[in-house]
Structure 1
Amino acid sequence: MEERTLQDLSEVIQSSNINFLFGAGTSTPFLPLLGNIEKLLNEAADETARETQYKEYFNKVMLPNKKVIDNSISTDEYEQTKKSYDDFFLALSEVILQRKSTILSKQVNVFTTNIDVLMETSLERLLIEYNDGFSGKLNPTFSSAHYKKSIQQRSLHFDHVSEIPVFNIIKVHGSLTWQQSDDKIMFARSLNHIDEATSGKTGNGFLEPYKRILVVNPEESKHLESVLNLYYYELLRMYSSELEKENSTLFIVGFSMDDKHIKEITLRAAKANPTLRIFVCCSQSSNEKMYTKLEVTQHPNIQVLTPDSDTEKFTLDCFTNNILKMVVEKKSSKDVEPEK
C-alpha cells in the first residue's frame, strides 16, 4: 500500500468517528461464503426447493456456532478465523486507545450482516468491552436504545478517569443469540433454540422452527417476521444515522455490497454527507466491479483499497496487518524522542 494512502488512513483513524461494515468474508474460512444461495432462493420454484437452500444455510452457517459457544471445536479453519478476529480487535483497541483527540468518543461501531457469534466470543476472550444491544444479567433483553453507552475507568489510587475503547456490535440481519419472547428479543446464551430445527427434520417439521430463528434469510424478499422486521429497520436507521454524522469514516471489509438496502443507504449518505469518508476493501480482481456498484466516479468521498498483490484477497487479516498495525507503528515511531 502506498505511503501516502497509509498516511491518509492513519490521519482518518486518528481523527474521525469510526464505523465498520463486515460481511461474510470476515468469518471465512470457518464459515463459507453464501455464493449463489440468494440467487437459488429467489429462483426457488416451490417450498421444497426453498427448504433445500434453507437447510444448506442452516447446516453450514448456523450449526457450527454451537461448537463455538461450547468451545468444542479446533479445526484449522476455525483457528485461522479466530486469530483473525483476535488480531483485529487487539490492534484496533490499541489504535483507539492511543488516539490523539480527547473530543472523540472511544467507541467503534461494527455493523455486520453476519449472524454468527465469532466477534462476541473474540471480544470476551480478549476481555475487551463491547455492547451487543442487550441489557440485564439474568434475563438480558435487546434494544437499539442500549447502544452508545460509554465506559469510563477510574484509577485506584489517584482517581484519574479515562474512557476505554468499546465496540458496538450491530447485527443488522439479526443474530443466532436472539430469541423471541412475546414482543421482546431475549439473549439465547447456549443457542439451544436452534436445535429445534435439526437437519434430520423435513417439511414443516424443519421450516416452522427454522423460521422462528431471528435472522434475515439471504434472499431478496427477506421473509422477515414482524418482531424481527421492527428491529431490522431500526438498525438500518442506526446505520444511516451514524454515516450522516459529521467527520465519520466507514471501512467496508468482506462485504460484496449486493444487499440493496445497505448499498442504497451507503450511497445516499456518501452523497448527503461530504465529511463522510468510505474505504472499500476488496481484491484487485473485484476492483472494477466495486467501482461500478458504488458509483465511485460520482462520489469523491468513496475510495477502493486493494492489496499490492493481484492474487491476494483483502481479508480481515490483510486490513489488520496492512493498515491497523502500520498505523500503530507510525504512531509509536512519532512518539519516540529523537536523541540529542
Structure 2
Amino acid sequence: MVRSHIISNDDEETAKILAPYIQSGNLNFLIGSGASLPAIKTAGDIEKKLDKLIKDGKAKEADREMVGFIEAIGETYKQLKDDPIYSDDLDEAFNNYSNFISIVDQILFFRKNEILPRQATIFSTNYDMFIEFAASKSPSISINDGFDRSSGQSENFAFAPEKYFDRTYRASSLYARRVEIPTINLIKPHGSLNWTKRGSDLIYNASAVQPLTPAEKADPVKVSEYLSKHFLIMPNFRKFHETLMERVYYDLLRLFSKSMEQENVALMAFGFSFSDEHILDITKRSLRNPTSQLIIFAYSHDDIALYQAKFAKHRNVSVIGPPAGTNINFLRLNNILSAVLPEIKNG
C-alpha cells in the first residue's frame, strides 16, 4: 500500500524522510511538464485536446495544435539563447532548473557512500531545453545527454547512448589519487527540441527549426513536414514518423527500465502525472524489485489520492504531498532537497 506523507512547512522534517534513500540509493529523478511552469503550459492540456481531436477524426487539426505547442516551446528556446534579459516566467523556470541541478550536484559530491557512483540520472519527458541551458551556465556541473562531443568541429553532435553512465575521474598529480567527479545523466525518452535526423543518425542540432507562417499552418503538407523535422514523440498518441524514432524511443525506455532494476534504486518524480502508459507500466513492473523506492512529490493535496490509486498495489511507493490549500512547486522541491544536504554531510 502506498505510504503518504503530508508535510508541514518544516523542510528539515521532510529531509529526514528522504536522506536515507539519497545517501544510500542509486539516485534517479523523473521530471514532467509541471516542472517547466510557468514558462511552458503543462502537456496534460495538449494531450486532452489531441485525444479529443483524434477521436473525432480530426487528425489534421490535431497536427496543427501540436505545431502550436512545439512553437511555444521553441519560443522559450529562442529567448534562452538570444535574449540577455528573460521574462519573469522564463526567469523563474530557468532559476528553478539551475538550482535543482546545482543541488543534485552537491548531493552527489557530499554523500558519503563510496560504493555507489557519484552519478544521478534525470529522466525528462519535456521537449524544452531548460536543463541543458542551466548546465551550460554552470560549467562546474557535468551533464551527460548521450551525444558524442569528442569532436569540437561541429555543433551537430551524433547520438551515442553508450556514453550514458560513463564515470569521470580527476587524478592528483602529487599522490596519483583518483577522485570521481559528480555526473548527471540526462535522458529524454520523448525527444528534445534540438534533436533532428541526418541520414540514418540522430544528431543534436543547435539551430532550432523555424516556425511556420500562418499560410503554411493552413497547409496540411507543410504542417506534416514541420512535425517530421522534429525528433519528438508526440503526446499520448505515439506517432512515429520513422523506424529510427521508434528505435531511439524504446532504447531510452529500456534505459529507464534498466536503471529501475538496480539494487537500492530511488526514483523521485516531480511534475509528472504518470499518464504516459509506457512509463507507468515500466515503473510498476520495476517496483517488483524489492529494493527499489518510488517517491512522488504531489503538487496539490488532491493529487495525493490520484497517485495512491495508480500505485495502490505497491508497498515501495511514497507520496509526499502538501496540506489542503498549499502546493509543492519547484521552488519548494528545491528547498526540501537543499535541506537534505546537512543530513548527508553530517550523516
Tell me the TM-score normalised to structure 2 length.
0.89
Cα 1:73–1:213 shift into 2, 3 Å: farther
Q: Quick check: 210-219 or 111-120, which moved more?
A: 210-219
Q: Aligned match of 1:164 in 181, 205, 221?
A: 181
Which structure carries more relative contact order (alpha carbon 8 Å, separation 6+)? 2
Q: Aligned match of 1:302 in 317, 321, 334?
A: 317
What is the match of residue 120 of structure 2? Answer: 108
- For 2:297, give the aligned amino acid: C
2:111, 2:344 within 8 Å by CA — same for their partners in 1? no
2:29, 2:123 within 8 Å by CA — same for their partners in 1? yes
Q: Aligned match of 2:279 in 234, 239, 262?
A: 262
What is the match of residue 315 of structure 1? Answer: 329
> Which runs of structure 2 are paired with 1:227-238 in the superposition (5 Å)?
227-238=244-255
- Indicate yes or no: 2:214 matched with 1:214: no
- For 1:287, give the aligned amino acid: I
What is the match of residue 33 of structure 1? Answer: 42
Q: Quick check: 215-224 or 93-102, which moved more?
A: 215-224
Q: Quick check: 152-161 or 127-136, which moved more?
A: 152-161
Q: Aligned match of 1:69 in 63, 67, 81?
A: 81
- The percentage of aligned residue pairs carrying the same residue is 28
* CA RMSD, 1 decimal: 1.9
The alpha-carbon deviation at position 210 of structure 1 amounts to 2.0
Tell me the TM-score normalised to structure 1 length.
0.90
2:189, 2:253 within 8 Å by CA — same for their partners in 1? yes
**Distance (Å, rounded) in 2 between the aligned partners of 1:102 and 1:199:** 57
CA offsets, 1:267-314, max 9 Å, x none? 1111x200001001112121111111222xx2110010113x423332
The alpha-carbon deviation at position 320 of structure 1 amounts to 1.3
CA offsets, 1:193-230, max 9 Å, x none? x1164555222123212222001111323344321111
- For 1:23, give the aligned amino acid: G
5+ residue gaps, structure 2:
1-6
Cα 1:267–1:91 shift into 2, 3 Å: same
**Distance (Å, rounded) in 2 between the aligned partners of 1:280 and 1:162:** 32
What is the match of residue 4 of structure 2? Answer: none
**Distance (Å, rounded) in 2 between the aligned partners of 1:15 and 1:115:** 31
What is the match of residue 23 of structure 1? Answer: 32
2:79, 2:86 within 8 Å by CA — same for their partners in 1? no
5+ residue gaps, structure 1:
336-340
What is the match of residue 275 of structure 1? Answer: 291
**Distance (Å, rounded) in 1 between the aligned partners of 2:43 and 2:285:** 26
What is the match of residue 339 of structure 2? Answer: 326
1:69, 1:190 within 8 Å by CA — same for their partners in 2? no
**Distance (Å, rounded) in 2 between the aligned partners of 1:135 and 1:196:** 28
- For 1:144, give the aligned amino acid: P
**Distance (Å, rounded) in 2 between the aligned partners of 1:208 and 1:176:** 15
- For 2:111, give the aligned amino acid: R
- For 1:326, give the aligned amino acid: A
The alpha-carbon deviation at position 151 of structure 1 amounts to 0.7
**Distance (Å, rounded) in 2 between the aligned partners of 1:198 and 1:152:** 49
